[in-house]
């Protein structure tokens, strides 16, 4: 690239630079923007599709984003322009940069030269599971006090953000994408990532706009494996034939992991469940017990992802007890089985799955997780692979295990060659022939209407798209009515107004906005509750409903949602203080009074206990 960048904590001997990122709202590019800003550089970007969660993260980092691509976006005279792989050589901002003599570079090149070259690179690669697995690895290393660097292609819960420069020379976790780098560099992104430790979860045909065959995909992964030095480590799934095939030529040490009977060094076996759908499992290393673990991630494939991380970080010297704590506390990633809200007893889940294998695995892990009712799948064919006809028949098998399916319109169908476009009406017909209620519904509004008319308490609605899908998640929740959802960035004033109306103080509410749930009735916030997390316990506070809506059972609804969040996050117990509702919490939920000796030091220092009055109560989960 030719421009020196200095990560935070490094020697501050080089000038700060101005960088413009084209396609900044892509999950990877958005995280890179934050990483560069953390390192002290002036960063701006542009994009056409600006929506949460990445738009929210960029705003929080005070990174300006131009909505739309145009030459004047470069008027601020950046030193270099980072080109996302969405850009073609005739992109309006690429042409503008060249006309102004600005240097073009790629996000993998920036990351390699100025962050990964100074670290122990832990690269998570594979067709499926990269984002969740890399986020888990970063979380475990953080919990273990290793101060890792990381760049995650998503927004993890439980980490401050999706990026961190980390300690120079320490581990740096990065999602190893096989997609091409830029129009001037058609090699896979992970060729830049200098892997010393690598995880390979799976190898299947995907990104068919880049790879014309499964063999081409495998060849890219083989080249990646060859980059791992002899002293490095490759952790590979023994349950995935494609991954094993690509690992065969490794010159480094190879350790396999398996959930079944395949020969492997690492093995996991589920042993039970805990409230909140959490899985208990045992891990063996070379036939000997390595420890007992617990995860809130649903599905066998996520158990495999957890096992891969356990193997990789154990090789970095992290003790089993610290790994177990990190795995247990991992709260997941936005848009990966993320609960967007609960309305009228219907849980609405957002998931990024778009490949048939990911769809099948995700849906299989959700049965019974959020209630014993039906599962509705709402699918938008949006990715370069899903908008083509390649997996037309495979989707019928992937969606075959749910109760009802709604297929939305193909997003940007013109991007698929004519005669090779996915047919949503054909998928609906194929599913009906298998006995699954299915229909094609083009309008987002009509999708919300049909879900609201069909869904009942205990049902789960899973929205699957690699994009925003017209905000269908929020439309469904709004149409169902009285939805309990996570607070958004602009909800702060609305929550304050509710708390002021009931004279309930919450002095540091803004610091806990990510732990707040709000009750919405249409566009209004009429109630709220917070579930603050302290190590392995939760603190329920700020439970409030506007006065004119009391007596409708809304307080019970909010408290129940907060307790369910605590269960899903692995809390062992929840505390609260109350002056007048002791009987309510005892009778409705089973809380019991206790004294302050039960509180952890971190909870005692929270703002709740500086002014807390009334009885202290606790429930074990």
Q: Is residue 4 predicted with pLDDT exceeding 50?
A: no
- Radius of gyration for the chain, computed over Cα atoms and rounded to the nearest angstrom: 24
pLDDT at 254 over 70: yes
DSSP-derived pairing of the beta strands 278-285 and 288-295: antiparallel
* pLDDT, mean over the chain: 89
pLDDT band at 359 (very low <50, low <70, confident <90, very high): confident
Whether 9 has a pLDDT exceeding 50, the answer reads no
Res. 372 pLDDT band, cuts 50 70 90:
confident
Per-residue pLDDT of 389-448, as tens digits, reads: 888 988 898 898 899 999 998 888 888 888 888 889 999 999 999 999 999 999 999 999
Given pLDDT bands bounded at 50, 70 and 90, which one contains residue 53?
low
Query: What is the spatial distance between Cα 199 and Cα 127, in angstroms, rounded to a whole number?
Result: 12
Encode pLDDT of 294-338 as tens digits.
998 888 888 999 999 999 999 999 999 999 999 999 988 888 888
Cβ count within 10 A of residue 426: 16
Q: Give, in order, the Cα–Cα distances in Å from 242 to each of 46, 81, 204, 230.
A: 37, 36, 7, 22
Instruction: Check residue 15 and give its pLDDT.
Output: 56
Residues 6+ apart with CB under 8 A from 97: 20, 74, 81, 104
Q: What is the mean pLDDT of residues 463-485?
A: 89
Nearest one of 216, 219, 194, 196 to 207, comparing CA atoms: 216
Confidence of residue 124 (pLDDT cuts 50, 70, 90): very high
Q: Percentage of residues in the chain with pLDDT exceeding 70?
A: 97
What tokens were used for 576? Answer: 């609260």
> Is the predicted pLDDT of residue 351 greater than 50, yes or no?
yes
d(CA 512, CA 425): 45
Exposed/middle/buried for 186, CB within 10 Å: 0-12, 13-18, 19+? exposed
- Across the beta sheet with 18-22, what order do the strands follow? 65-67, 42-47, 18-22, 80-83, 103-106
Query: 516's torsion region: left (phi>0), alpha (psi -120 to 50) or beta?
Result: beta
Domains of the chain: 18-110 (3.40.50.720), 115-329 (3.40.1190.10), 338-481 (3.90.190.20), 489-620 (3.40.630.30)
What integer is the mean pLDDT of 500-504? 93
Q: Is the pLDDT of residue 14 over 70?
A: no
Alpha-helical regions (H) of 207-319: 214-226, 241-247, 300-315
Among 46, 172, 183, CA closest to 106:
183
Using one digit for the tens of pLDDT, what is the confidence trace for 163-221?
998 888 899 999 998 888 888 888 889 899 999 999 999 998 888 778 889 999 999 99
Got the DSSP string for 504-566?
A: ---TTGGGGGGGEEEEEETTEEEEEEEEEEETTEEEEEEEEE-GGGTTSSHHHHHHHHHHHHH
pLDDT of 143 over the 60 cut: yes
Output the six-digit token pair for 381: 């064919």
Q: Is 621 within 8 Å of 571 (Cβ atoms)?
A: yes
Q: pLDDT grade, residue 1 (50/70/90)?
A: very low
337 versus 262: the higher-pLDDT residue is 262
- Asked if pLDDT for residue 460 goes beyond 90, the answer is yes
């Amino acid at each position: 690239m030719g421009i020196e960048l200095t990560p935070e904590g490094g020697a501050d001997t080089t000038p700060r630079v101005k960088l413009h990122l084209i396609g900044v709202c892509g999950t990877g590019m958005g995280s890179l923007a934050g990483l560069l800003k953390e390192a002290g550089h002036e960063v701006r970007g542009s994009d056409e599709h600006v929506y949460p969660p990445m738009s929210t993260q960029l705003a929080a980092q005070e990174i300006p984003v131009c909505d739309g691509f145009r030459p004047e976006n470069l008027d601020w005279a950046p030193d270099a322009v980072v080109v996302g792989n969405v850009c073609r050589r005739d992109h309006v901002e690429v042409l503008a940069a060249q006309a102004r003599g600005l240097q073009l570079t790629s996000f993998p090149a920036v990351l390699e030269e100025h962050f990964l070259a100074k670290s122990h690179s832990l690269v998570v690669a594979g067709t499926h599971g990269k984002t969740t697995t890399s986020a888990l690895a970063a979380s475990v290393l953080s919990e273990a006090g290793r101060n890792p660097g990381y760049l995650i292609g998503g927004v993890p819960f439980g980490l401050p953000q999706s990026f961190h420069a980390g300690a120079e020379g320490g581990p740096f976790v990065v999602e190893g994408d096989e997609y091409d780098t830029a129009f001037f560099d058609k090699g896979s992104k992970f060729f830049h990532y200098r892997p010393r430790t690598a995880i390979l979860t799976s190898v299947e045909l995907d990104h068919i706009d880049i790879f014309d065959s499964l063999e081409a995909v495998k060849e890219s992964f083989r080249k990646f494996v060859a980059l791992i030095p002899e002293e490095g480590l490759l952790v590979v799934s023994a349950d995935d034939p494609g991954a094993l095939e690509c690992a065969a030529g490794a010159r480094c040490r190879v350790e396999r992991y398996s959930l079944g009977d395949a020969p492997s060094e690492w093995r996991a076996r589920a042993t039970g469940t805990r409230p909140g759908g959490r899985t208990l499992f045992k891990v063996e290393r070379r036939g000997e017990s390595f420890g007992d673990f617990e995860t809130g991630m649903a599905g066998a494939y996520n158990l495999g992802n957890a096992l891969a991380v356990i193997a990789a970080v154990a090789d970095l010297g992290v003790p089993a007890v610290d790994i177990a704590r990190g795995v247990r506390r991992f709260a997941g990633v936005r848009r990966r089985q993320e609960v967007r809200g609960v309305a009228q007893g219907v849980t609405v889940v957002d998931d990024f799955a778009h490949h048939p294998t990911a769809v099948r695995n995700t849906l299989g892990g959700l049965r019974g997780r959020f209630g014993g009712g039906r599962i509705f799948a709402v699918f938008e064919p949006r990715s370069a692979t899903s908008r083509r006809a390649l997996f037309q028949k495979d989707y019928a098998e992937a969606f075959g295990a749910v109760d009802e399916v709604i297929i939305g319109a193909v997003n940007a169908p013109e991007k698929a060659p004519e005669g090779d476009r996915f047919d949503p009406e054909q998928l609906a017909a194929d599913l009906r022939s298998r006995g699954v209620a299915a229909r094609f519904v083009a309008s987002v509004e009509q999708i919300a209407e049909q879900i609201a008319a069909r869904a009942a308490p205990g049902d789960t609605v899973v929205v699957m798209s690699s994009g925003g899908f017209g905000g269908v998640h929020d439309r469904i929740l709004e149409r169902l009515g009285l939805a309990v959802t996570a607070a958004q960035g602009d909800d702060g004033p609305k929550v304050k107004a509710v708390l002021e109306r009931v004279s309930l103080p919450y002095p540091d509410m803004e610091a806990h906005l990510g732990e707040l749930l709000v009750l919405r009735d249409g566009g209004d916030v009429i109630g709220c509750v917070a579930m603050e997390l302290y190590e392995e316990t939760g603190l329920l506070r700020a439970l409030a409903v506007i006065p004119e809506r009391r007596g409708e059972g809304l307080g019970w609804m909010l408290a129940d949602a907060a307790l369910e969040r605590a269960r899903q996050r692995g809390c062992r117990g929840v505390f609260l203080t109350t002056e007048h509702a002791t009987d309510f919490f005892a009778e409705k939920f089973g809380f019991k009074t206790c004294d302050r000796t039960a509180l952890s030091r971190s909870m005692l220092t929270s703002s709740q206990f500086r002014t807390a009055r009334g009885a202290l109560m606790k429930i074990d989960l």
